[in-house]
Amino acid sequence: MFIQNYFKRLLLFSLLPGFSLILVGCGGSSEEDKQRADITVTVTHDGAPVSEAELRLMMDGKGEGAMGLLDDSGQTELSDVVLGSYTVTVTPPEGTPDNPAPQKEYPNIPAQYRSLQNSPLKAEINAGSNEFTFELN
């Protein structure tokens, strides 16, 4: 009886670390584990900066994204963007309920760049510093 209980305990304690490793290895990566980088994006149309616009990045096939407002020089800086391949869109500002965007035309943002499905703009975010310039035609 003593020997039988001894072997059961020995078996249990020898398998426990293995199961723990399996469980730890099965978990997905947490937000903190994802590698990130800072990026600078400049957007122009016919050589002039595109201001009064929102720049959005959406990772291809994933739920990751980033967004920034373009300043008067057509530039935005984004921090902690997850590394990967993104489709980029440029849209007129949406505003907020408290501060709605002006209702006007934005001829410097052609329609194809406003849609995630149609935008030809792509960005590959790598470790380190990333700078992109997009010319809207």
Q: How confident is the model over 74-97, as pLDDT tens digits?
A: 999 999 999 999 999 999 988 778
Q: Which long-range contacts (CB under 8 A, 24 or more apart) does 105-109 make?
A: 106/52, 106/53, 108/45, 108/46, 108/48, 108/50, 108/136, 109/45, 109/50, 109/53, 109/136
- What pLDDT sits at residue 104? 85
Name the CATH superfamily housing domain 35-93+107-136.
Answer: Immunoglobulins (2.60.40.10)
The predicted pLDDT at position 12 comes to: 47
CB-based burial of residue 18 (10 Å sphere; 0-12 exposed, 13-18 middle, 19+ buried)?
exposed
pLDDT of 50 over the 90 cut? yes
Tell me what pLDDT residue 9 has: 56
Q: What is the pLDDT of residue 115?
A: 95
pLDDT for res 11: 45
pLDDT in tens, 6-20: 555 544 455 555 544
E strands, the chain, in order: 36-45, 48-49, 53-59, 65-70, 75-82, 84-91, 122-125, 129-136
Q: What is the mean pLDDT of residues 45-68?
A: 93
Say what the pTM is: 0.73
CA–CA distance, 32 with 41 (Å, rounded to integer):
24
pLDDT for res 21: 47
